[in-house]
């Protein structure tokens, strides 16, 4: 613990290196720059993320944090997603993304789930910048 606290007082460049190793990241923080890479690798084949971006297989995710599930006008959601009834918060995304079909029964999002907690935090931090 002492060693971690000492690391936290290191200058920014050194701290960035430590964070890069994943040693000093507080739980749930998340690095949006890294999350952008996770999105590119795991989500961009089905989702656009720019304002007014196109439907690919899934709905555009620009502004998803704060949006009611299943509510983007013009997108043909599954009845499961339309019935979800919650608003996408960062916490809700962290529940959904590791296990989409368990969280929203009947969803047509064919994605097994993002299990890596660091990638999940980074990705959700990135989604939270899309506004
Ligand atoms: C194989 C394609 C595919 C992949 C990969 C995929 N999705 Fe989806 N996603 C969909 C589809 C299709 C829907 C619509 C689900 C429905 O209507 O049940 C969806 C719905 C969603 C929704 C709900 C949006 C809303 O407007 O309510 C979120 C949030 C979401 N996806 C996030 C992600 C993220 C983040 C990733 C990457 C980790 C991802 N998805 C990967 C296809 C995909």
Choose among 62, 122, 77: nearest CA to 97.
122
With a 6 Å cutoff on the Cβ, whether 103 touches ligand 1 is no
Polymer length in residues for the chain: 131
With a 6 Å cutoff on the Cβ, whether 58 touches ligand 1 is yes
Residue with tokens 């960035």: 16
Split the chain (131 residues) into runs of 10 and give each run's mean pLDDT: 54 52 62 98 98 98 98 98 97 97 97 97 98 95
Are 100 and 110 in contact by the 8 Å Cβ rule? The answer is no
Instruction: Report pLDDT digits (tens) over 69-93.
Output: 999 999 999 999 999 999 999 999 9
Mutate to test the pocket of ligand 1, among 38, 44, 46 (most ligand atoms within 8 A of CB): 46
Cα-atom radius of gyration of the chain, to the nearest Å?
Answer: 17
What pLDDT, on the 0 to 100 scale, is given for residue 29? 84
What pLDDT, on the 0 to 100 scale, is given for residue 88? 98
Task: Return the structure tokens found at 97.
Answer: 């993304």
What pLDDT, on the 0 to 100 scale, is given for residue 129? 98
Ligand 1 nearest atom to the CA of residue 107, by list position: 18
Would you give the distance in Å from CA 9 to the centre of its chain? 29
Sign of CA dihedral 112, 118, 123, 125: positive
């Amino acid at each position: 613990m002492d060693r971690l606290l000492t690391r936290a007082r290191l200058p920014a460049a050194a701290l960035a290196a430590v964070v890069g190793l994943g040693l000093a990241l507080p739980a749930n923080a998340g690095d949006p720059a890294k999350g952008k890479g996770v999105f590119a690798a795991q989500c961009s084949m089905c989702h656009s993320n720019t304002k007014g971006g196109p439907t690919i297989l899934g709905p555009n995710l620009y502004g998803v944090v704060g949006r009611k599930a299943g509510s983007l006008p013009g997108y043909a959601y599954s009845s499961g997603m339309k019935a979800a009834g919650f608003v996408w918060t960062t916490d809700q995304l962290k529940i959904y993304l590791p296990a989409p079909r368990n969280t929203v029964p009947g969803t047509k999002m064919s994605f097994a789930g993002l299990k890596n907690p660091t990638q999940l935090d980074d990705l959700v931090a990135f989604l939270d910048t899309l506004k």
